[in-house]
Amino acid sequence: MTDAPPGADGGAALERPLVVVSNRLPFRAERDARGVRLIRSPGGLVSALEPVLQQRGGVWVGWAGETREDADAAGGLRLPDAGRVRYHPVPLSGTELAQYYGGFCNRTLWPLFHYFVSRTTIDGASWRTYERVNERFAAAAAAAAPPGALIWVHDYQLLRAPAFLRRLAPEARVAFFLHIPFPATDVFRVLPWSRSLLQGMLACDLVGFQVPSYAQHFLASAERLLGCEVDRAAGVARFEGREVAVQAHPISIDVSLVEALAGRVATPRRAAAERPVEILGVDRLDYSKGIYERLMAIERLLERHPGLRRRVRFTQVMVPSRERVAEYSALKRQLDETVGRINGRFSERGWTPVSYLVRVLPPEELVPLYRHSDIALVTPLRDGMNLVAKEYVAAQLENDGVLILSEMAGAADELQEALLVNPFDVEAVAEALHRAIVMSDDERRARMSALRDRVRANDVHTWVRRFVDAAERASDLALTAVASPVDVTRRRLAPWLSQRPAVALFLDYDGTLTPLAPRPEQATLAEAARETLRDAARTPNLDLTVVSGRALDDVRQMVGVSGLTYVGNHGFEIEGPGLTFRHAGADASRALLDAAADALAALALPGGWVERKGLTLSYHLREVPADQRDRARRAAEVVLRRRRLRVTPGALVVEGRPAVDWHKGRAVLHVLVHRHGADWPARVRALYIGDDATDEDAFGALRGIGRSIRVARGPAATPTAADFRLPDPEAVVQLLRWLAAGAFVQPRA
């Protein structure tokens, strides 16, 4: 560990427990007639993380590899005792596994993050399951984490988990590492839930990526999609009053293990000079790996250089993956047919150009293949890092292999001495193969020795240590930094507001201008807030509207400031300078509203009471005992639906409105059009500030043509259509004070 920053408890950091949260535990459970076997997961990440967990003490949270139904049928799963490491399984049902992992993770996030937009499935059901599973992982991590632990969340399966963790444990130290690429903003925003995913990741103290370009894509998305203030040079995104470190930490391999296994290979690779040049590819079955394009390059090589026939042999090791998924089965058939066609076209007696192995090879078998291969052909169409490239390099103990590497792989940032190729350019890959085959010994050894030095200096153990150190520093800064969410919001709004000569500002009342109160009549506006509203009403180029679910006369009386536009009853009635509106369908529902109000009162539920507001009504639940609120809410909703009213649940309230397509969002647009003209976006900037579910209609209506702010204390796991957040009414009044000063107006040159 590095020294802690001044003022931090370096000793505590050295001893701080570590909680690893990943989709899978470091083993999988397999059951047969003899019982359950826990099969260890291969790979350097497990071998690097477990010693750190043993040293510091900690927990590994993840799925154990079998469905909840199978585990329950077998009487549960017994996990191993591993000294200072505890394993905490997260159960998943068969349906959840299909929708969360097979669905949203691998049919939505995986293709999109690898730039295969046409393969990306947009499905609301799988998204909802993803949310639910991420919340369960977060709850498991929060429950299992020892006091003061650093919680390290891994990869695309758990992008939303940090938001739920932050809600459950606001002061927790949380870091995240994405093992796959992070796409450019214009690709990422294809996903309807892109903002929610960003909010999840930004709940961390440190967000780590494989290479700097992915970190820059993330910062750009945070800025463009969430309105965050970002410092690209420093690698910082400011979100909800917090500074989040955004850094590149390229993952690596267990070099010592690969070298040890390579050292056991007794026969030198070039013992027989007449043997073919061995070319090797090792990949999981996936369309992103470029296996088909690679085979096309082998075919083109043999076409263009007929003298190489019988002199080269290509071996493709392919690890089976997602065999039950139709598109992967189709890919497998395509590869089978392509290999058969190439071999049928070029094979001669005693020589077949392509060998094709479809199985999982343990390191003890894979590393000798690296050692015996003259060339590694590592050409994914897109890859977060690609550790096969690094494993091949580490196995070249005599520095005499050649690595051909896709420039679309994250590893290309580090392994510049490889022959870098565009994997989509079959001709270029074929020529790189020819160059590698005829390369001189001096060039080959110069390139490989440089590659080996770099890989050895940055092995997976170094990666873990550096990432944990960076997470500790980021958490220390996050815990000590004091950032004003109002200042952050103001800095983000200022350039946008200044692009138009006027601002149309819409403010909710309860929960936005004044704190929520047990009863509506108790939600009185502070005199300082009222004075700020008066100042704002006098500000040139600032058009101020108060929007409320209260009756129009009620909200006007509560605010008590003349010259404003008031919107009451969720938009069904509007009055202001030069503007009067009452929705035509509202009066037609008066009889239904009165009948519903009488029926709600007749429920006689303890603490529940009806607020009659003329054109709408509210059934308040705040004074209902907590253990009876769900029942009371359901009963109220039944009453309202039976009267054919529109039901809108809110914060401890159920709203009943006329069953017409009208809400705060439509009312806001009505005010803008009648006050500023149909082309109002060219004339004014529209900004809406609200705090509850009914304000989401306005947030959505202004999406793309205005801006909105959700008032909510603390980082909320529930997504919102708002562009920004402020913590409380006090922060709203602070922002209003800045607007009332006219600071948004661009100074004239």
Is the CB of residue 556 less than 8 Å from the CB of residue 574? no
Is the CB of residue 209 less than 8 Å from the CB of residue 216? no
Tell me how far the alpha carbon of residue 230 is from its chain's centroid.
17
User: What's the CA gap between 574 and 569, in Å, rounded?
Assistant: 9
Burial class (CB in 10 A: 0-12, 13-18, 19+), 349: exposed
Which pair of structure tokens corresponds to residue 317?
Answer: 């090791």
Is the CB of residue 62 less than 8 Å from the CB of residue 23? yes
Is the CB of residue 150 less than 8 Å from the CB of residue 18? yes
Is the CB of residue 22 less than 8 Å from the CB of residue 50? no
Which pair of structure tokens corresponds to residue 633?
Answer: 């809410």
Rounded to the nearest 10°, the torsion over CA 530, 533, 538, 542 is 180
Which pair of structure tokens corresponds to residue 645?
Answer: 């009213």
Identify the residue whose tokens are 């909703």. Answer: 637
Query: Between the CA of residue 38 and those of 25, 77, 585, what are the distances in Å?
Result: 10, 10, 65
Is the CB of residue 384 less than 8 Å from the CB of residue 179? yes
DSSP string, 512-538: TTB---SSGGG-PPPHHHHHHHHHHHT
In the set 508, 543, 554, 692, the catalytic residue is 508
φ and ψ of 570, to 5 deg = 60, 30
User: What's the CA gap between 108 and 99, in Å, rounded?
Assistant: 11
User: What's the CA gap between 18 and 58, in Å, rounded?
Assistant: 5
Quote the strand ranges of 675-729, DSSP E. Answer: 684-690, 707-711, 724-726
Q: What one-letter code names the amino acid at 265?
A: V
Total residues found in the chain within this entry: 749
Is the CB of residue 321 less than 8 Å from the CB of residue 310? no
Give, as one character, the DSSP assignment of residue 351.
B
User: What's the CA gap between 389 and 206, in Å, rounded?
Assistant: 27
- Apex 533 CA angle, 527 and 539, nearest 5: 145
Active site residue 508: yes
User: What's the CA gap between 257 and 459, in Å, rounded?
Assistant: 11
Helix then strand then coil, in percent of the chain rounded to 5, is 45, 20, 35
User: What's the CA gap between 635 and 196, in Å, rounded?
Assistant: 32
φ and ψ of 188, to 5 deg = -60, -40
φ and ψ of 409, to 5 deg = -95, 145
- For helices 441-457 and 387-395, the axis angle rounded to 10 degrees is 120
Tell me how far the alpha carbon of residue 546 is from its chain's centroid.
35
Is the CB of residue 571 less than 8 Å from the CB of residue 667? yes
Q: Point out the residues that are catalytic.
A: 508
